[in-house]
């Protein structure tokens, strides 16, 4: 008997536009021989399922169900395809936990911790994973920016502490008025800001997931922003301003270090489903530095996870089936 799967997308942040792109890919590749798929759009106007005739049905939030004509539709599991709040920060996960509905991806605690960059680097650092030195700022509750970052080595990255897709992020090369502007820009996106030393090295990103109880690392991707881009920001990620090489052309000894660290990070954070972990490999130290953990990585056709899945020789249909099946045993 087919299982009813709710594919949730949308969200309340600027990342909703990316969520909708991811949902198209996921929807196109969920196996209809195994699953009945209902795409649920959660946005500031409400929670809706749109029928083929254009009618919109509102979700009953009491039990996350739909009244489809004379039939009540309940869900065996949820595929979370939503970037940003409330799908990536633990809020939806807590809701589904309360209703005892299985879902793909990390649980509420892991999602909340990894969504907060300060907490994530603190947890990783405490576990012995190399992370960049940083300073944490709270809006209207810090001193002069120059004094706050006096112990940091420039250049630095200034970014909103919560969120993803590099929205509101800046690179600052020297202590100057540029730093003030970067902090103001980041505070427009969040009430908490992280100022982090830049680690020199090659940037790699890798998907990691669990299937059958085993942690599997996907092929590595090396990311290079184009020469006219200061760093791998929103434009580089989503507007073709970067070059992504999958599988990465890298010495196997380096690749092994990154893969081993990725498995460690996945275990330390008690991750579930597929996550994408970003690293800078510092060749001088021979160490991969963890930048961040993305618990709802992009799934658009051009996104990195689909690239890595195909590079491994799998179809997205096979991959998404494994993710859904795994959520029933997590």
Give Cβ neighbours of residue 122 (< 8 Å, ≥ 6 apart).
Answer: none
C-alpha span between 294 and 165 (Å, rounded): 9
Is 129 inside any structural domain? no
Same domain for 306 and 212 = yes
Same domain for 213 and 319 = yes
Query: In this structure, what CATH number is given to the domain that contains residue 52?
Result: 3.40.50.20
Query: In this structure, what CATH number is given to the domain that contains residue 143?
Result: 3.30.1490.20
pLDDT value at 238 more than 50: no
Same domain for 206 and 323 = yes
Same domain for 323 and 214 = yes
What are 195-221's pLDDT values in tens digits? 999 999 999 999 999 998 899 999 999
Final residue in a domain of this structure, among 111, 142, 161: 111
CA angle 106-63-36, nearest 5°?
Answer: 70
Is 24 inside any structural domain? yes
Same domain for 150 and 239 = no
Residue keyed to tokens 């009953």: 60
Q: How many residues does the chain have?
A: 330
Mean pLDDT score of the chain? 92
Final residue in a domain of this structure, among 111, 146, 170: 111
Confidence of residue 59 (pLDDT cuts 50, 70, 90): very high
Is 123 inside any structural domain? no
C-alpha span between 315 and 149 (Å, rounded): 47
Q: 3-class DSSP state for residue 281?
A: strand
Average pLDDT over residues 236-241: 52
The pTM of this model reads 0.90
Question: How many domains is the chain built from?
Answer: 3
Same domain for 216 and 180 = no
pLDDT value at 294 more than 90: yes
- Listed residue (270, 267, 89, 78) closest to 164, CA to CA: 89
What are 116-157's pLDDT values in tens digits? 999 999 999 999 999 999 999 998 887 777 787 888 999 999
Same domain for 318 and 222 = yes
- pLDDT value at residue 88: 96
Is 248 inside any structural domain? yes
Same domain for 322 and 205 = yes
- pLDDT value at residue 306: 98
Same domain for 211 and 178 = no
Confidence of residue 229 (pLDDT cuts 50, 70, 90): very low
Is 188 inside any structural domain? yes
C-alpha span between 249 and 320 (Å, rounded): 27
What percent of the chain is predicted at pLDDT more than 70? 94
Q: Which domain holds residue 91?
A: 3-111
Same domain for 220 and 185 = no
Burial (CB < 10 A; 0-12, 13-18, 19+), residue 309, is: buried
Question: How many helices (H) and strands (E) are present in the chain, helices listed first?
Answer: 10, 17
Same domain for 306 and 217 = yes
What are 164-190's pLDDT values in tens digits? 557 789 999 988 878 989 999 999 888
The neighbour count for residue 249, using CB atoms within 10 Å, is: 9
Average pLDDT over residues 298-308: 95
Distance of CA 144 to the CA centre of its chain: 32
**More confident call, 70 vs 100:** 100
Residue 62, token pair as written in the block: 């009491």
Is 126 inside any structural domain? no
Final residue in a domain of this structure, among 171, 197, 223: 197
Is 121 inside any structural domain? no
Is 308 inside any structural domain? yes
- pLDDT value at residue 21: 97
């Amino acid at each position: 008997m087919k299982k009813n799967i709710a594919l949730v997308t949308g969200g309340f942040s600027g990342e909703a536009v990316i969520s909708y792109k991811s949902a198209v890919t996921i929807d196109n590749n969920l196996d209809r021989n195994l699953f009945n798929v209902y795409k649920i759009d959660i946005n500031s106007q409400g929670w809706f399922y749109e029928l083929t005739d254009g009618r919109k049905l509102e979700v009953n939030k009491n039990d996350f169900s739909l009244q489809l004509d004379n039939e009540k539709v309940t869900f065996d599991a949820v595929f979370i395809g939503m970037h940003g709040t409330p799908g990536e920060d633990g809020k939806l996960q807590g809701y589904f936990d309360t209703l005892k509905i299985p879902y793909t991806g990390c649980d509420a605690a892991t999602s909340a911790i990894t969504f907060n960059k300060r907490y994530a680097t603190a947890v990783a650092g405490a576990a012995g994973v190399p992370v960049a030195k940083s300073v944490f700022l709270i809006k209207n509750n810090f001193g002069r920016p120059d004094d706050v970052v006096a112990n940091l080595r420039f250049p630095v990255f200034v970014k909103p502490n919560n969120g993803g897709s590099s929205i509101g992020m800046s690179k600052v090369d020297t202590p100057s008025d540029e730093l003030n502007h970067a902090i103001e820009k980041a505070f427009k996106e969040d009430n908490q800001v992280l100022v982090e030393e830049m680690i020199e090295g090659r940037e790699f990103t890798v998907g990691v997931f669990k299937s059958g109880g085993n942690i599997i690392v996907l092929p590595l991707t090396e990311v290079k922003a184009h020469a006219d881009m200061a760093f791998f920001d929103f434009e580089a990620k989503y507007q073709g301003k970067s070059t992504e090489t999958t599988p990465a052309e890298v010495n196997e000894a380096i690749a092994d270090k990154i893969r081993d660290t990725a498995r460690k990070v996945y275990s330390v954070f008690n991750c579930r489903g597929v996550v994408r972990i970003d690293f800078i490999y510092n060749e001088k130290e021979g160490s991969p530095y963890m930048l961040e953990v993305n618990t709802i990585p992009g799934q658009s056709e051009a996104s990195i996870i689909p690239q890595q899945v195909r590079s491994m020789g799998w179809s997205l249909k096979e991959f998404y089936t494994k993710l859904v099946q795994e959520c029933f045993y997590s």
